[in-house]
Amino acid sequence: MTIRIDVHHHFMSKQYLDAVGAERAAAPGSAGHVEPWTAAQSLEFMDASGIAGAVISVSAPGIDLGDTEKTASLARACNEAQARMVGDHPKRFAMLAILPLPDIEASLRELAYAYDALAADGVVLMSNYFGEYVGSGKFRPVFEEINRRKGIVLVHPTLPHGFRGFPGVSLSTMEFPFDTARAIMSMLYYGTPELFPDVKVIWTHAGGAMPYLAGRTATLSRRNADFRLSGDKLVPALRSFYYDVTQSLSAPTFAALRTLVPFDHILFGSDCPFARTAQIQSALDELDRLALAPDEREKLERGNAALLFPRLA
């Protein structure tokens, strides 16, 4: 039965790969290669995986081309192409716009265009931009505008700046969960949830390492006067976020997330096209083994995301 709403589904057009380079796009992953992906292929995957609707977004490494004008042009091209996918299949796709960060002015222009001209459903940000994590005050103008629009932000992990990871292990295997935790930490440190309460933030991969680190961080943050959401404020802030369960449905991982956050803040994700049919079936098998109550499973697979993305409800 095709019921699921997939909030972690990547846009991977030939134009995008030609611009950033297929080798660069494939570098963080475990498969070692990546190919252009079309709407038809997504729909085939979705139908085989019981996915009724997917929220598409650009993945790591993002769109930076080392030139501000070229990066802004690529953001516009990706966003317009995503909007065409949504227009062609309005019941199957929603879109998260990509911004040409770290250029703030260009990002604000693209944000306005994405919302006002393309009817974007939210935006996607990378966990860091050249080592500057998304909670940093540098990105405050972008969050101010998203907050004004009561918008949605999905944060996708990317390569940690200046660190190549553990030799022989893909960055997506180990470093992505830790870079997600760093990005969450940056928002707690700078107080993003408190400053911008109308921004709905979605963290991928069950928040990476953060659920495990929540108690330790709450305790140790009390010693740092500059840590804005420390101590007793920290866990409520983590509970205000949303989390997808892409590659995170093993019993220990899911238990940590479920203990930390309300069930209505947990979302389904596939990681298509990096995840193919066999991988998503493995994830669904893990979901079956969790033996969730029927109402909980409905919320995770569809209900929670339908409230965030009414286009797909």
pLDDT digits (tens, 9 = 90+) for 95-134: 999 999 999 999 999 999 999 999 999 999 999 999 999 9
| Rounded (10°) CA dihedral 154, 176, 208, 178 | -120
pLDDT interval class at 32 (50, 70, 90): low
pLDDT interval class at 2 (50, 70, 90): confident
The two three-digit tokens of residue 304, written as one number: 């929670």
What per-residue confidence (pLDDT) applies to 166? Answer: 81
The answer to whether the beta carbons of residues 183 and 153 sit under 8 Å apart is: no
Average pLDDT rounded to a whole number, residues 240-244: 98
Query: Does 28 have pLDDT greater than 80?
Result: no
**Count of all residues that appear for the chain in the document:** 313
What per-residue confidence (pLDDT) applies to 268? Answer: 98
Query: Does 293 have pLDDT greater than 90?
Result: yes
pLDDT interval class at 11 (50, 70, 90): very high
**% of the chain surpassing 70 pLDDT:** 98
Q: Of 118, 313, 165, give the one whose Cα is nearest residue 99.
A: 118
The answer to whether the beta carbons of residues 210 and 185 sit under 8 Å apart is: yes
Q: Which fold has domain 4-312?
A: TIM Barrel (3.20.20)
Q: pLDDT tens across 47-81, in order?
A: 999 999 999 999 999 999 999 999 999 999 999 99
Query: Does 27 have pLDDT greater than 80?
Result: no
- Cα–Cα distance between 258 and 94 in angstroms, integer? 26
The answer to whether the beta carbons of residues 305 and 5 sit under 8 Å apart is: yes
- Cα–Cα distance between 233 and 222 in angstroms, integer? 10
146 secondary structure, DSSP code: H
Between 9-13, 21-25, 293-297, the lowest mean confidence (pLDDT) is in 21-25
101 secondary structure, DSSP code: T
Domain ranges in the chain are 4-312
Q: pLDDT tens across 213-232, in order?
A: 999 999 999 999 999 999 99
- Cα–Cα distance between 238 and 34 in angstroms, integer? 33
233 secondary structure, DSSP code: G
Mean pLDDT rounded to a whole number for the chain: 95
Q: Of 220, 10, 181, give the one whose Cα is nearest residue 95.
A: 10
Q: pLDDT tens across 141-192, in order?
A: 999 999 999 999 999 999 898 877 788 888 888 899 999 999 999 999 999 9
- Cα–Cα distance between 59 and 36 in angstroms, integer? 13
- Give the side-chain half-sphere CA count within 13 A for 28: 21
The answer to whether the beta carbons of residues 113 and 79 sit under 8 Å apart is: yes
Q: Which helix (H) or strand (E) holds 53?
A: strand 51-57
- Cα–Cα distance between 216 and 302 in angstroms, integer? 32
Task: List, in order, residues 6 or more apart from 198 with CB less than 8 Å away.
Answer: 147, 148, 150, 151
